[in-house]
Amino acid sequence: MLTPAEADLLIGQNLQCLPIESLPLAQCAGAILRENIYAERDQPPFDRVAMDGIAVASATAQRSFSIQATQAAGDAPLTLAAADRCIEIMTGAALPAGCDCVVPVEDYAVEAGRVSLAERARTEPWANVHRRGSDTRQGTLLVPTGTRLHAPEVAVAAGAGMARIRVSAQPMLAVISTGNELVEPGEPVEAHQIRRSNAYAIVGALREHGFQRVADDHIPDEPQQMRSRLRFHLETHDVLVLSGGVSAGRFDLVPQVLKELGVRTVFHKVAQRPGKPLWFGMAPSGAAVFGLPGNPVSTLVCFTRYVLPALYGALGHAAPPAPRIALSAPVTITPPLTHFLPVRLVADDWGRSWAQPAPTNGSGDFTALVGTDGFVELPPGPNTYPKGHVTRFHPWN
């Protein structure tokens, strides 16, 4: 069987990069940037006033000034007529010509059109002035391609004058549950049946991460119907995420049906617990297919560990390496498989974060995941990892 690292490599080698689309800036939050954003102008583009007050020439010995004019933000800059005059100025305005200092309103009094400086007031060169180009210079790379666009990056793009930007197109995703035993929430359920929960977890996680073009289907364990429905999804979607039907049971039909539809098996089974039966393949259309084990904990772990990073890779976004964290208690691993252990993040008295083990009662015990923050990845056993052992942490979101 493959190691998780080998599975990562094979997925990355096979998954195709998604196309590019141009979107209005207001629609780009959460998207992956597919062009560089450069500074349109110096930033600030002029000597910008940083306080409401009066603009003066710092070299003056005057402590009293006549008010020449008032200049608001957005006005063309005025020119100071003489050293014994000042210009009332507002935050964000361009510094008037002949001025190099702003005295804030708290440091002077106004009476009959004249300003008198308080004893504490100072007229120092460039006081309360945000100098032109002090943040960045025209042509500087501000946001590189591959960046996920959050509010700061969207603001920078707007500041660079970009009404539209090129981003990765959202993939068409199909989340598919298989199994005769599954019953929808809200429907009558028999004692021998279970609720269809995995698909809701996957769809919820996808939407939480900004993926909006998500279809949902439930296919019974019947070869002809499975063949027909999977053919449709392969022809109309970029990525299929299946839950169930990939183990070794008589009714685990997914691998055989996908083979009949021309889907090439890239790998089947990874040396890990939970999630050992994980399946991945590529269709002739270029669609990627992830076959996740049907047990709920296995489904969510494999989705978080493999599917989400792969989707971001296809969008052109290089996800940062998984953070590392220390165990808050010893953990014993018996089987020679990579172990994914749910944890809660806890802080000690010094504010340091620790991973508190929160083991489930098997891979079907999805109720135990409530309140957990993700899972840690522990090397194959047999071994006991002590408190303080540092390992990779995979958050649910």
**CATH number of the CATH domain containing 353:** 2.40.340.10
Position 115 in a domain? yes
Q: Is the dihedral of CA 293, 298, 302, 304 positive or negative?
A: positive
Q: Are 72 and 91 within 8 A, CB to CB?
A: no
CB atoms within 10 A of CB 45: 15
Q: Are 164 and 174 members of one domain?
A: no
How many domains, in total, are found in the chain? 4
Q: Are 61 and 35 members of one domain?
A: no
Position 319 in a domain? no
Position 310 in a domain? yes
CA distances from 82 to 59, 79, 125, 385 (A): 12, 9, 17, 77
DSSP code for 303: I
Q: Are 210 and 330 members of one domain?
A: no
Q: Are 265 and 180 members of one domain?
A: yes
Which residues, at least 6 apart from 70, have a Cβ–Cβ distance to it below 8 Å?
Answer: 87, 88, 89
Q: Are 220 and 289 members of one domain?
A: yes
pLDDT of residue 251: 64
Chain centroid, CA 327 distance in Å: 26
Q: Are 171 and 23 within 8 A, CB to CB?
A: no
Position 285 in a domain? yes
**H or E segment and range at residue 81:** none
Position 135 in a domain? no
The rounded distance, in Å, linking the Cα atoms of 332 and 359 is 11
The residue to which tokens 């999977």 are assigned: 230
Decide: helix, strand or coil at residue 39.
coil
pLDDT of residue 234: 96
282, 314, 346 — which closes off a domain?
314
Q: Are 31 and 149 within 8 A, CB to CB?
A: yes
Position 137 in a domain? no
Q: Are 310 and 182 members of one domain?
A: yes
DSSP code for 88: E
Decide: helix, strand or coil at residue 116.
strand
Position 15 in a domain? no
The rounded distance, in Å, linking the Cα atoms of 27 and 350 is 42
Q: Are 242 and 310 members of one domain?
A: yes
Q: Are 182 and 84 members of one domain?
A: no
pLDDT of residue 102: 98
Strand 173-178 relative to strand 264-268: parallel, antiparallel, unpaired? Answer: unpaired
Residue 268 structure tokens? 């089947």
What is the gyration radius of the CA atoms in the chain, in angstroms?
30
Q: Are 221 and 330 members of one domain?
A: no
DSSP code for 277: T
270, 289, 314 — which closes off a domain?
314
Give me the CATH number covering residue 72.
2.170.190.11
The rounded distance, in Å, linking the Cα atoms of 36 and 58 is 41
Decide: helix, strand or coil at residue 342.
strand
* Angle of CA points 213, 219, 223, to nearest 5°: 130
Q: Are 91 and 49 within 8 A, CB to CB?
A: yes
Give me the CATH number covering residue 34.
3.90.105.10
Q: Are 197 and 281 members of one domain?
A: yes
pLDDT of residue 31: 93
130, 158, 178 — which closes off a domain?
130
Paired strand residues for 340: 377
CA distances from 380 to 327, 362, 363, 392 (A): 16, 18, 17, 14
Main-chain phi, psi angles of 86, to 5 degrees: -140, 165
Residue at 297: amino acid letter: V
Q: Is the dihedral of CA 6, 9, 11, 14 positive or negative?
A: negative
Give me the CATH number covering residue 293.
3.40.980.10
pLDDT of residue 319: 74
User: Comparing C-alpha atoms, which of 311, 263, 309 is closest to residue 289?
Assistant: 263
Per-residue confidence in pLDDT tens, the chain, 397 aa: 899 999 999 999 999 899 999 999 999 998 999 999 999 999 999 999 999 999 999 999 999 999 999 999 999 999 999 999 999 999 999 999 999 999 999 999 999 999 999 999 999 999 999 999 999 999 999 999 999 999 999 999 999 999 999 999 999 999 999 988 888 899 998 999 889 889 999 999 999 998 999 999 999 989 999 999 999 999 999 999 999 888 877 767 899 999 999 999 999 999 999 999 999 999 999 999 999 998 999 999 999 999 999 999 999 997 778 899 999 999 999 999 999 999 999 999 998 999 999 999 988 888 999 999 999 999 999 999 999 999 999 999 8
pLDDT of residue 337: 97
Main-chain phi, psi angles of 54, to 5 degrees: -125, 140
Residue 154's domain spans which residues? 20-42+142-168
User: Comparing C-alpha atoms, which of 36, 23, 10, 25 is closest to residue 316?
Assistant: 36
Q: Are 52 and 104 within 8 A, CB to CB?
A: yes
Q: Are 257 and 124 members of one domain?
A: no
Position 158 in a domain? yes
Decide: helix, strand or coil at residue 119.
coil
Q: Are 266 and 281 within 8 A, CB to CB?
A: yes
Q: Are 119 and 154 members of one domain?
A: no
